[in-house]
Amino acid sequence: MSGTTLEEIVLETPLGRMAGLRRAGHDADAPRVLALHGWLDNAASFLPIAPLLPDIELVALDLPGHGLSAHLAAGADYSFPGAVNAVLDAADALGWSRFSLLGHSMGAGIASLLAAACPDRVERLVAIEALGALAESPDQTASRMRDAITASRALRGKSLRVF
């Protein structure tokens, strides 16, 4: 059985520092799970259930602007597409091409959108008290989210035009 201790981690991402908690002593072949907290909460919200999930590589993230993660710049938008990109950035920083998602409340909404938009990255989804608004059909929402993620990630590293 793997360890049940969660250690603080810091991931450097294109959006800035993302903090979180990571299970110590996990098995190398254990399923990888990113845990996403609810609005105005943080990674520590998963401490009560972590001992019940001993055989997974659990990383509970502090989403941008929450917990010990960096806040976004003034005028930046704390949106669902932005949060989806932040989670993908965290997975990239961990070196995870595929993973499962465990989300609570707002985190479950973010996880659901990410799973719909990027099924090639997400193996499984567990949603606790899911919260999120869909203004279109699920297929249209997934398609728009996929396009938004692709466009947003393509802009990174591009220089601004100088006039």
Query: What are residue 16's DSSP bridge partners?
Result: 13
May I ask the CATH architecture of the domain 6-155? 3-Layer(aba) Sandwich (3.40)
Rounded to two decimals, the pTM is 0.80
- Residue 145: both structure tokens together: 């989210």
Q: Name the catalytic one among 45, 69, 100, 105.
A: 105
Contact (CB, 8 A) for 3 and 70: no
Number of H helices, E strands in the chain: 3, 6
pLDDT recorded at residue 1: 45
Hey, where are the domains in the chain?
A: 6-155
The predicted pLDDT at position 135 comes to 66
What are residue 158's phi and psi, to 5 degrees?
A: -80, 140
Instruction: With beta carbons less than 8 A apart as the criterion, state whether 22 and 5 touch.
Output: no
105 is catalytic: yes
Please provide the average confidence, as pLDDT, over all residues in the chain: 88
